Chains A and B, each alone.
Chain A
Amino acid sequence: MINIQDMRDTARGLLTKKEVRAVIGYRRSTNGMLAEPVVITDPAQADELIWDPTCFHNLSLYLVEDRKFLTHVRKTADAPIAIVAKGCDARSIVVLMQEHYFERKDVYIIGMSCEGSGVLDERKLAAKGIRATDAAFDGDDFVFATAQGEQRIAAREVMADRCLECREPFPKEHNAVLGENKTGRELNAPFTALHRFEELDAGARWKFWEHQFERCIRCFACRSVCPMCYCEECVVDSISFPVTGQTSAEEKANRVRWIERSATRPENMTYHMTRVLHLAGRCIDCNECERVCPVNIPLRLLNNKMEREAREEFGYEPGASIGGPSLTASFLDTDPGKFIR
């Protein structure tokens, strides 16, 4: 069991000794049970930090935001920034470093082992009709505080799918780490949800996706929350092409617009396929995109499809090594080519 006090002490120590300029972690939100992200700079704030099953956010997004901010104000960091990271979060930080978004010395990873458990899927809890004000890890269970008193539920019943299928619930890349490494405790085989979906035939799959792509409202929350979607200009925004006083009407008219802004099925479909292809080999399945989607588009299926192809066909594991090649910028002589005529 992880003692929350250890995490607070680690954070406090780092801030007091000025080894880091801030700690990105979780605190209790003002809205009931859920954790919320917090950035602390004062050692006295360390006691605000928490660690419980509602710490499902991937905080590495804030490392990206920090880097963007520093670039914007033209400053360089005088010390690294510390971050509380689960196994999946640590892998996303590895991908960012692999892509040289920042360097290893710029970040201090306070790794948190999921210790054979995982984080909560709010939707699963809501489906059980449980309204809690607090949640805690306890071995294989989650313990919730509700108006009717304490309620104990087997963690796997309300755990996020990605945690059930997680192959490495331990932050291999870390500066400090809390909790035991229980890698190899897979509760569900990897890609269980994907396999189940793929049992449908092509017609049924199309019916499913046709419906989903009709529903997407293209709010781009999935893109905003993804730590890997860090580009300043996104290929799907036709508005982000620089227009200056010198841009002629013809140039504006001839601008390449890969995707129109209207949220119609063909445009949405092109958006989603572009999104997932640009994330192939980079997405580490933190599932933040699916979690924030206001209309519950099952984005994890698309992400997982690419992840499994990369793994099975190319032996590629995202977030495995900082120095390794990236999926689509490398190749093997043995890559499959049977589909080519």
Chain B
Amino acid sequence: MSHSQAEVTQAEASGEFEPRIVAFLCKWCSSAGSDLAGVSRMQYPSNATPITVPCSGSVSPMYILSAFKKGADGVLVSGCHIGDCHYIEGNFLARRKIHLVKELLGFVGIEPDRFRMSWVSAAEGAKYSNVIKDFVEDLKPLGPQNKMKADRS
């Protein structure tokens, strides 16, 4: 267990709110970027559960809605910079689709800070760690996400 993960567990035990983030990372860039952050021993909060997807363009809105329904406090979609997509245009398609999802979430009254998209290349380990740090910072004041979370008690 990494240092920060131990901290999270500790914080949870002490009752401090630790947001849970589901991060959809594209295999070619952002996932590699998060690996780089790891192997470079960068310190960043371990609140994000990474899910590797082939491409940011392959992230169906259903993944995002489902993550919120299963209780995610925040959802991140991250892919290659525009122009760098392994499939040439996947991230262009993602940009459009995700824009709609983001607008819709805000429209029904979900806090805009709960959903985020970023471009992180395989060389940007530091950027990845910052994206996560900022996200966690922004999520903490919002508290748990209960609007879409299914009650499974």
Contact = CB atoms under 8 A, between A and B. Distances in A.
Contacts of B111: 202
A310 B112 CA distance: 19
A205 interface: yes
A210 B92 contact: no
A266 B69 contact: yes
B93 A337 contact: no
Interface stretch (B6-14, B18-26, B101-109): B101-109
Interface size class of B (residues with CB under 8 A): 35 or more
Contacts of A341: 116-119, 131, 134
B96 interface: yes
Contacts of A302: 104, 107
Contacts of A337: 82, 95
Given A202-B111, A264-B151, A309 B106 contact: no
Interface string A229-272: 00000010000000000000000000000111000101101100
Centre residue among B97, B102, B119 by max chain A CB count within 10 A: B97
Interface stretch (A86-94, A103-111, A148-156, A328-336): A328-336
Nearest to A280: B100
Interface in A294-317: 302, 305-306, 309-310, 313-314
Contact of A273 (B65, B97, B109, B150): B65
A209 B108 contact: yes
Nearest to B107: A305
A339 B117 contact: yes
Interface residues of A, number: 42
Interface in B99-153: 99-112, 116-119, 131, 134, 147-151
A24 interface: no
B62 interface: yes
A205 B109 contact: yes
A205 B92 contact: no
A109 B28 CA distance: 48
Given A276-B104, A277-B100, A269 B89 contact: no
B99 A267 contact: no
A264 B116 contact: no
A210 B151 contact: no
A219 interface: no
B60 to A, nearest CB: 9
Contacts of A258: 62, 65-66
A205 B108 contact: yes
B114 to A, nearest CB: 11
Contacts of A276: 104
A273 B61 contact: yes
Contacts of B112: 202
Contact of A331 (B62, B69, B96, B104): B96
Contacts of B134: 341
Interface in A130-160: none
B96 A335 contact: yes
A209 B131 contact: no
A32 interface: no
B75 to A, nearest CB: 13
A336 to B, nearest CB: 6
A260 B150 contact: yes
Contacts of A269: 69, 108, 147-148
B115 to A, nearest CB: 9
A277 B104 contact: yes
Interface in B37-94: 61-62, 65-66, 69, 82, 89, 92-93
Contact of A270 (B69, B92, B96, B118): B69
A274 B95 contact: no
A125 B100 CA distance: 35
Contacts of B61: 273-274, 277
Given A202-B106, A305-B107, A277 B101 contact: yes
A309 B101 CA distance: 11
Given A270-B66, A302-B107, A313-B99, 5 more contacts: A205-B107, A205-B109, A209-B108, A336-B99, A339-B117
18 contacts: A203-B109, A204-B109, A206-B147, A207-B109, A209-B109, A235-B62, A269-B148, A270-B65, A277-B101, A277-B104, A306-B100, A309-B103, A314-B96, A328-B100, A337-B82, A337-B95, A340-B119, A341-B118
Q: Nearest 7 pairs between A and B by C-beta?
A: A206-B109, A331-B92, A205-B109, A341-B118, A266-B150, A209-B108, A277-B61
